[in-house]
């Protein structure tokens, strides 16, 4: 009986929560993914940053994600560029802009800064599992 109650609560909490769209990334949104010698030099940094922006969360989580992007690019020997990129995401990534790259872009528009609930964290986990399964299937078919 107790398990049934927990299951009903979990289902109803998920039903009332907004639905998280599947993860998408465009690399370094409106910015080159690399330089003329290495066209994808800092693209992995941007994809990791996109993951944080997709799932969103609190304002402090955004500050942390932007700092991680800056450090990642600086660690590739692009310290000056890392400051420019940091400034760009700070200016353009607010959750209040109706853009595809805003903070929390995986959720419906106007979510703002808000920590993820347990149900929302479960949605993030589910979407990542689905993405991993899709990638595994794709890579298996490629062989």
User: For position 5, what pLDDT does the model report?
Assistant: 37
**How far are the Cα atoms of 5, 33, 97 from residue 92, in angstroms, in the given order?**
44, 17, 8
Residue 40, in any domain of the structure: yes
Q: How many CB atoms lie within 10 A of CB 18?
A: 12
User: For position 86, what pLDDT does the model report?
Assistant: 98
| Radius of gyration (C-alpha) of the chain in whole angstroms | 18
Q: Which domain holds residue 117?
A: 22-142
Residue 33, in any domain of the structure: yes
User: For position 142, what pLDDT does the model report?
Assistant: 72
User: For position 96, what pLDDT does the model report?
Assistant: 96
Task: State the Cα–Cα distance between residues 51 and 132, nearest whole angstrom.
Answer: 14
Residue 131, in any domain of the structure: yes
What is the reported pTM? 0.84
Residue 8, in any domain of the structure: no
User: For position 26, what pLDDT does the model report?
Assistant: 96
Question: What are the per-10-residue average pLDDT scores of the chain (143 residues)?
Answer: 41 61 96 97 98 98 98 98 97 96 97 97 97 92 74
Residue 11, in any domain of the structure: no
Residue 91, in any domain of the structure: yes
Number of folded domains in the chain?
A: 1
Residue 6, in any domain of the structure: no
Residue 39, in any domain of the structure: yes
User: For position 17, what pLDDT does the model report?
Assistant: 66
Token pair in block for residue 83: 């400051």
In degrees, rounded to 5, the angle at the alpha carbon of residue 33 between the alpha carbons of residues 94 and 74 is: 80
**How far are the Cα atoms of 6, 24, 118, 120 from residue 106, in angstroms, in the given order?**
27, 8, 16, 11
């Amino acid at each position: 009986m107790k398990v049934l109650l927990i299951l009903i609560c979990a289902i109803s909490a998920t039903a009332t929560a907004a639905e998280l769209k599947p993860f998408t990334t465009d690399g370094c949104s409106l910015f080159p993914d690399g330089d003329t010698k290495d066209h994808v030099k800092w693209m992995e940094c941007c994809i990791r940053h996109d993951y944080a922006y997709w799932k969103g969360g609190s304002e402090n989580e955004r500050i942390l994600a932007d700092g991680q992007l800056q450090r990642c690019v600086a660690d590739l020997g692009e310290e000056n560029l890392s400051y420019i990129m940091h400034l760009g995401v700070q200016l353009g990534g607010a959750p209040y802009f109706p853009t595809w790259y805003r903070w929390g872009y995986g959720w419906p528009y106007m979510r703002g800064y808000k920590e993820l609930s347990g149900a929302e964290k479960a949605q993030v986990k589910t979407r990542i599992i689905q993405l991993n399964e899709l990638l595994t299937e794709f890579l298996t078919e490629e062989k």
